[in-house]
Structure 1
Amino acid sequence: MSARAPLSLTARLALLFAALAASLLIVVGLVMGRAVEAHFRELDDHELSGKLMLIESLLQRADDAAALAGVRQRLDEAFVGHDTVAVLMRDAGDAVVYALHADHFAAAQRDGAPLAGGGMWTEGGRHYIGREADIALPAGSGAAAGPLRVLLGLDISHHVHFLDDVRNRLWAGISLSAVAAAVLGWLAAHKGLAPLRRVTAAAERLSAERLGERLAEGAAPAEVRELVEAFNGMLERLESSFRRLSDFSADIAHELRTPVSNLMTQTEVALSHARSPDEYREVLASNLEEYERIARMVSDMLFLAQAENGRLPRPEERVALQDEARALAEFYEALAEEQGVTITVQGAAEVTGDRLMLRRALANLLSNALRHTPRGGTVEIVIDAGQATVTLAVRNPGETIAPEELPRIFERFHRASRERERHGEGAGLGLAITRSIVEVHGGRVTAESAAGLTTFRIELPLAAA
């Protein structure tokens, strides 16, 4: 059996509004109900007290037997029209000396039992509240020795019915109010969540061809504006990534097309007619160069893919940058002499990282500088240790790189100009690899070019003492 689908956010907010409204109304209703009930109880107690005072006043005046007999008539006259009042008086011998609406009392009280149940009872489907008191008679009244026990009852059925009606109406009002709150809450949430639905609709329309869509940030409420801004930022990043991926696909296709085309052409020429072993050996050697070029390109691409996915190793070893720079200067010394270029190394500093990776990054910058330095020029490697960072600069004279090209110079397959492209033998991945290596080590690489002087700077954290 499939799991029940969760409630939507709109439905949850609507139910929350309904629950809050119902809870608030219930609390208000309970407080008001208790207040009305207490008011009616106060009125009933006041009326009972008044009736007892009346009875006690009449009895206190009965100072002889004739006056006591006249009390019964005066009570009948006093309670004319008071059908809600019941009176039952007994003397010390438990004999009934006066009764008014005695059928309002319960059978136990009519038989002489005292009031029970908190002074409230039900008789004949009606509700009563009562009070019991002993009233002493004046001397000479002729009554049996001892005070009279007076039992007074009051019919409160109209109050009970009124309270029941109020409760029923209150519960009905609470139910209707909860439903109304749910409906209004649903409408408010539905309207308030409209920006989220627009985000959903925009996400459903997304494709590689429609990444230029953006949501209007000004119309979004403050609670959703951050989501809209984040969504637009995500779209912008996706569009930029897709654009770079498209450019990268076109670039790599272009770069691979040249060696593949050379291989095909040379192979077709070699197969066009019979050749000597030396001629076949020459064709194979040329093909091997193209294969090596493709292999280097594939290796560099795998390196960059590992760097972007955070899979490059980073051993924590101390690396003396001056030693690596001098070793590379000696390695490129023969090439530099052939081109009439001088390499100098200045400064010293230590960093923490992978020695081979850092040497590869520096080698890419140094070989790039040698390719573009004119005869008689000098390539300078300057190492400067600061308070927390180390700056390694590779500076060479040569053609100035245009300012608009500098931000893209570390991108894959990018060459700053046609003139610089003619000097290059690689696929345009060296600087991209350098940037990946430096970023893996927690640093950054920048480039500046002006007045025929180009400088690449690598900034790395200084090794701890």
Structure 2
Amino acid sequence: MMRRNSIAWRMAAMFAVTAAIVFSGVAYFSYNVLSNSVRNQVRAELAFHHSILLPFISERDTPTEWDAVRKKLDGMAPEVGRVRYWIQCDDPTYRYGGLAERDGLDVYGKVPINDFGFTKDGNPPKIWGVMVRSIPASADRPPLEFAVALDATDYVHTKEKFQRVMQITSTLGILLVAAFGYWIAKLGLGPVRKLGEQANALPPKDPRKRLNIENLPTEIRELAVSFNNALERREAAWRQLEGFNADTAHELRTPLTNLIGQTQVALANPRSVDEMRDLLASNLEELDRMSNIVNDMLFLSRADNGSRAADLDEVSLNMEAYKTAEYLEHLFLDARLTVRIVGDAHARVDRRLFHRALANLLSNCTQYADPDSEVVVLIDTTTEHVRISVSNEGKQIPLDQKPRLFERFYRGDGARTSSGLHHGLGLSIVRAIANMHDGDVFLKSANGINTFGFTLCRDIRQA
């Protein structure tokens, strides 16, 4: 399996695909030229028979004269001849070639509807080219359908033989190109194999080790540099993951410890129904908190895996912002804050995600804004994006905290035991939602005003 996934095999496969495209194109073109030539040859021969017989048949318009038509057609279509004639008419007097003969007819016993085509008939079956022409009524004779059928079996067999030869030669050519391509790729990728051996020799427990890029060809050097850069990113991601796992364990440990402790105390002594009800209510709060943490983590995981905004609608962001503010009105009343929404823009967004991002920013204001102050939601536009910012009066954010505020579980105040829904994932979710709309987040803190916001692409495509 490893061998088949090697670069040499892939290059050989690309050579084979290229050869397949070229050979198939040539074979397809040649086959179509031959097929059209065969078709035109059969059509021309049928047209020649029609040109000879149509005037003769058209001039015979009485039953007496029709005997001459029968005799001429009998003479031109012997029992084992290559040509058959058939005339269809509502009046049996003017018919020629009964259905029992089935010369040039399709499987339903009828002449093809089009003026020219191929059909199969006989035992052993023969392939016939059929051309049908209409003859208008004249005197006592009703209109006719005159069909000439030509035995095209040899033509078609020649075409099929050519097709088989082209298939065989194309297949052999593709295999030869693939074999030579693999040999050439194997020979030219020797330095890559050595680089792979060096990569396999890297110690798994030391993420600081890098590949030696000295004395490498230019192309391989670029590959090695890219690999070293990937190792650096992996090291940073690994350290971030370790921190994230520790934060997750810390966030879940507190409600779990509370649940276990309260349950153990409750089981240690007999409890009344009211006491058990209070205990279950307290446990339910902790379970809700854990559920919110898990749901937010799952949402962030889907966003990290490339999930995109799906239910897109053209909306007025001003109206949607008012809906979000009304939903959080009770929190603002408790915090003694007022909300003012400025500006508007129309964009294709996922309403649910937009409300969630804006609600997270507004909820932060209810925690950190100065009481009896105003929260301003500003909506403005750039060439490609819409900017939504939420500003409030409050304590200035230290410079060392700004780069980390959108990280998961990070809290600027260092509190690790906050209750309720605020578990340090709100701003991370805002950034994830912005990314799902091809946007980003931003932060500004100066002169006693803290501004958090995000951008959304105005013409994001449907996921």
Which SS does the other structure have where 2:400 is aligned? helix
User: How far apart are the structure 2 equivalents of 1:382 and 1:223?
Assistant: 50
Shift of 1:418: 2.1
Change (3 A) 1:7 1:350: closer
Contact preservation (8 Å) 1:372, 1:423: no
Equivalent residue for 2:13?
A: none
Shift of 1:448: 2.0
Larger radius of gyration: 1
Q: Paired residue for 2:320, among 324, 334, 348? A: 324
Which SS does the other structure have where 1:418 is aligned? coil
User: How far apart are the structure 1 equivalents of 2:2 and 2:419?
Assistant: 66
1:400 aligns with 2:396: yes
Contact preservation (8 Å) 1:394, 1:455: yes
Shift of 1:222: 2.2
Equivalent residue for 1:166?
A: none
User: How far apart are the structure 2 equivalents of 1:395 and 1:289?
Assistant: 31
Shift of 1:315: 2.3
Identify unmatched segments of 5+ residues in structure 1: 10-188
User: How far apart are the structure 2 equivalents of 1:346 and 1:7?
Assistant: 58
Q: Map of 1:381-460 to 2, 5 A cutoff?
A: 381-418=377-414, 425-460=421-456
Equivalent residue for 2:197?
A: 200
Equivalent residue for 2:17?
A: none
Shift of 1:430: 1.1
Q: Paired residue for 2:299, among 294, 299, 303? A: 303
Equivalent residue for 1:368?
A: 364
Change (3 A) 1:441 1:206: farther
Change (3 A) 1:440 1:4: closer
Change (3 A) 1:333 1:3: closer
Change (3 A) 1:221 1:421: farther
Q: Map of 1:215-226 to 2, 5 A cutoff?
A: 215-217=211-213, 219-226=215-222
Shift of 1:252: 0.5
Q: Paired residue for 1:213, among 200, 203, 209? A: 209
Change (3 A) 1:449 1:422: farther
Contact preservation (8 Å) 2:191, 2:220: no
> What is the root-mean-square deviation in Å for CA atoms of aligned residues?
3.1
1:277 aligns with 2:269: no
Shift of 1:421: 7.5
Which SS does the other structure have where 1:410 is aligned? coil
Equivalent residue for 2:238?
A: 242
User: How far apart are the structure 2 equivalents of 1:265 and 1:243?
Assistant: 32
Change (3 A) 1:383 1:240: same
Q: Deviations along 1:366-387, whole A, 9 cap, x unmatched?
A: 1112211121122110011233
User: How far apart are the structure 2 equivalents of 1:6 and 1:418?
Assistant: 49
1:335 aligns with 2:331: yes
Q: Map of 1:80-99 to 2, 5 A cutoff?
A: none
Relative to the length of structure 1, the TM-score reads 0.56
Q: Paired residue for 2:287, among 283, 286, 291? A: 291
**Matched residue type, 1:341:** L
User: How far apart are the structure 2 equivalents of 1:446 and 1:248?
Assistant: 22
Q: Map of 1:255-274 to 2, 5 A cutoff?
A: 255-274=251-270
User: How far apart are the structure 2 equivalents of 1:197 and 1:408?
Assistant: 41
User: How far apart are the structure 2 equivalents of 1:459 and 1:329?
Assistant: 19
Equivalent residue for 2:224?
A: 228
Change (3 A) 1:299 1:423: closer
Q: Paired residue for 1:252, among 248, 253, 256? A: 248
Which SS does the other structure have where 1:215 is aligned? coil
Contact preservation (8 Å) 2:244, 2:408: yes
Q: Map of 1:101-112 to 2, 5 A cutoff?
A: none
Change (3 A) 1:270 1:7: closer
Q: Deviations along 1:177-215, whole A, 9 cap, x unmatched?
A: xxxxxxxxxxxx99x9668625532333242x3221123
User: How far apart are the structure 1 equivalents of 2:358 and 2:211?
Assistant: 44
User: How far apart are the structure 2 equivalents of 1:408 and 1:420?
Assistant: 15
Change (3 A) 1:313 1:221: same
Q: Map of 1:108-187 to 2, 5 A cutoff?
A: none
Shift of 1:4: 9.8
Shift of 1:419: 6.1
Change (3 A) 1:303 1:414: same
- Pick which of 282-291 and 438-447 moved more: 438-447
User: How far apart are the structure 1 equivalents of 2:265 and 2:2?
Assistant: 68
Equivalent residue for 2:350?
A: 354
Equivalent residue for 2:89?
A: none
Q: Map of 1:60-71 to 2, 5 A cutoff?
A: none
Q: Deviations along 1:49-75, whole A, 9 cap, x unmatched?
A: xxxxxxxxxxxxxxxxxxxxxxxxxxx
Shift of 1:436: 0.9
Identify unmatched segments of 5+ residues in structure 2: 9-186
Change (3 A) 1:220 1:407: farther
